[in-house]
Structure 1
Amino acid sequence: MNTAFASLYQSDFTPTESERRLSAAAERYIAETEAYDRTVCTGPIKHGAIMPANAHEHSLANRNAMRAMDRLCTQHPEFTRKQILREVSKAESRGLSL
């Protein structure tokens, strides 16, 4: 392969320490919220995540998710809520939910 092409368009991606911390925080959020959801929800499992069967279960899951996000934002003030939410979304799309 042409070395000029390779040097311009191919490289090894190495995440920074900050990116690794953000990713780990997002993965922890997903794991914690899913673990809680599995204790209160009785609905079907879709795409690897349990679903609430009724409004009460939905309310419990949402309240826990908001508290978990607040706790995560407090523990990681170096990241904005928007950055954390974006990373959670990326992690979920990669299939990191339990």
Structure 2
Amino acid sequence: MNTAFANLYQSDFTPTESERRLSAAAEQYVNETEAYDRTVCTGPIKHGSIMPANAHERGLVNRNAMRAMDRLYIKHPEFTRQQILREVSHAEIRGPSL
């Protein structure tokens, strides 16, 4: 096998410290918002997350999510908004770890 190819494409992936911090921050966001959602929502649980039952609950959930995201941006200025949003999206796919 071509060693140059193996070195480029078959190496072990090890996240950097920065990537680990970003991932941890995104997971914390998902866990915190889901914990809040569970205190205000009365709808069904779908795919491990509780759903708002009405517009009022949806408003509470959205307001909390925006505030939590703003706190995340402020707490981690070393990351761009796009990086944070992408990692939060990945963390949401993995689901909350409550």
TM over 0.5: yes
* Equivalent position amino acid for 2:64 in 1: N
Residue in 2 that maps onto 1:42: 42
SS of residue in 1 equivalent to 2:13: coil
Percent of aligned pairs sharing the same letter: 78
Tell me, yes or no, if the aligned pair for 2:48 and 2:95 is still in contact at 8 Å.
no
Query: Are 1:96 and 2:98 an aligned pair?
Result: no
Indicate the larger mover: 54-63 or 81-90: 81-90
Q: Tell me which stretches of 4 or more aligned residues in structure 1 moved more than 2 Å.
A: 2-9
> Deviation of residue 55 (structure 1)?
0.2
TM-score by length of 1: 0.90
Q: Paired residue for 1:32?
A: 32
TM-score of the superposed pair, with normalisation by structure 2: 0.90
Q: How does 1:1-98 map to 2 (within 5 A)?
A: 2=1, 4=3, 6-93=6-93, 95-98=94-97
Equivalents in 1 of 2:11, 2:44: separation in Å?
A: 42
Give unpaired runs (5+ residues) of structure 1.
none
Give the root-mean-square deviation of aligned CA atoms: 1.3
Query: How far has the Cα of 1:81 moved from its partner?
Result: 1.6
> Residues 72, 8 of structure 1: CA spacing in aligned structure 2 closer, same or farther, 3 A cutoff?
closer
Consecutive unaligned residues of structure 2, counting only runs of 5 or more, are none
Q: Residue 69 of structure 1 aligns to a residue in which SS?
A: helix
